[in-house]
Amino acid sequence: MAHREPPSSPAQPAEGTPAARTLARIRAALPSLAPSERRVAEAVLADPAQAAELAISALAGRADTSVATVMRFCRAIEITSYPQLRLALAAAAAREDALSGRRPAPGTDISATDTLDEIVSKIIYNEVHALEDTGAGLDVDALGRAVDVVAEARRIDIFGVGASAFVGQDLHQKLHRIGRVAFIWTDRHAALTAAALLGPGDVALAISHSGETEDTVEPLQAAAESGATTIALTNAPRSPLARGADLVLTTCARETPFRSGATVSRIAQLALVDCLFVGVAQRSYEVATAALEKTYGALQRRGRQPAQRRPSADD
């Protein structure tokens, strides 16, 4: 049941409440909204505090759409009424003001006239907020179920291409270091081949910011057809990748035209990978700790040994 903040204190939501998750939910829903609903979302995100003060007809006018579309937008982000949306926006805006020390938020994209200081400010602001929004909007129950299945899996196959491949490699390396049988596939044909060999008791985890990358969607579908448990890590909870997965872990990082595939999306993905990995390692704490110490020790010992000179043809 949705929680509604009392009218006397809508400006101080606790972390993780629906009010705190409102902006994250709107950003996550953007790719799947109809064009008219997306205009409502963009009007709200441009100035949540001001949108919270608008009557429904005024918000519809600002988005160049109808009152009915505004109501459809509310339902799309799982808010049942317009007054509830206004309360949630007021609370979310107050929370962002408190977190930022009442500094105005930098623009979302880099402009041709930005100074280097402004570029740094915008990048750091967006990346910090991506982490905060991802944490606020994370389905912890889904994360817990993902930890369960990965911890018990016979093998874990990870699919990702492009920027998401780096995140997949990070998860693969982490799981490998605690003795889990894991593979990373960044080529579509290799991923499809691997997926065909999976079965019940195996896990396939696919990573895609948009959730629409066919090179990732198809292997996950093939893994599901083979009987494996499937996990999607994506920024788009209504994407083809998410719809085809048993479990969905959602980030909330907004890419912009200038910074498509930017570090901000990978930072949010890496944060969820860390949460998943630590949850899995914790299930077998002593074994995982011993494995980490053993692998770290092997690297330290190797690093202290002088490189051995190979005999040459002149010796």
pLDDT (tens digit, 9 = 90+) per residue, 133-149? 888 788 999 999 999 99
Q: Is the pLDDT of residue 179 over 80?
A: yes
17 token code pair: 């409440």
Count the Cβ atoms, other than its own, within 10 Å of residue 115: 8
Distant-in-sequence, close-in-space partners of 261: CB < 8 Å, separation ≥ 6: 162, 163, 209, 255
Q: 207 vs 30, 56, 68, 88, 190, CA distance in Å?
A: 19, 37, 35, 30, 16
What per-residue confidence (pLDDT) applies to 107? 53
Q: Where do the DSSP E strands lie in the chain?
A: 156-159, 182-185, 203-208, 229-234, 247-250
Is 123 contained in some domain? no
Is 187 contained in some domain? yes
* CATH code of the domain covering residue 73: 1.10.10.10
CB of 239 closer than 8 Å to CB of 32:
yes
Domains in the chain, number: 2
CB of 258 closer than 8 Å to CB of 233:
no
Predicted model pTM: 0.74
Whether 247 and 185 share a structural domain: yes
Whether 192 and 243 share a structural domain: yes
Whether 167 and 65 share a structural domain: no
Q: List the domain range (segments joined by +) for residue 89.
A: 10-103
Rounded CA gap, 84 and 74, in Å? Answer: 9
Per residue, what are the HEC states of 251-273? CCCCCCHHHCCCHHHHHHHHHHH
Whether 48 and 167 share a structural domain: no
> What is the band of 129 on the pLDDT scale with cuts at 50, 70, 90?
confident
Is 121 contained in some domain? no
Rounded CA gap, 225 and 145, in Å? Answer: 20
Whether 86 and 147 share a structural domain: no
CB of 123 closer than 8 Å to CB of 44:
no
Dihedral angle of Cα 242, 246, 249, 255, to the nearest 10 degrees: -10
Bridge partners, 247 (sequence order): 231
CB of 232 closer than 8 Å to CB of 248:
yes
User: To 10 degrees, what angle do helices 263-283 and 285-304 make?
Assistant: 120
Whether 144 and 264 share a structural domain: yes
User: To 10 degrees, what angle do helices 214-225 and 188-196 make?
Assistant: 10
In tens, the pLDDT along 38-85 reads 999 999 988 888 999 999 999 999 999 999 999 999 999 889 899 999
Whether 33 and 181 share a structural domain: no
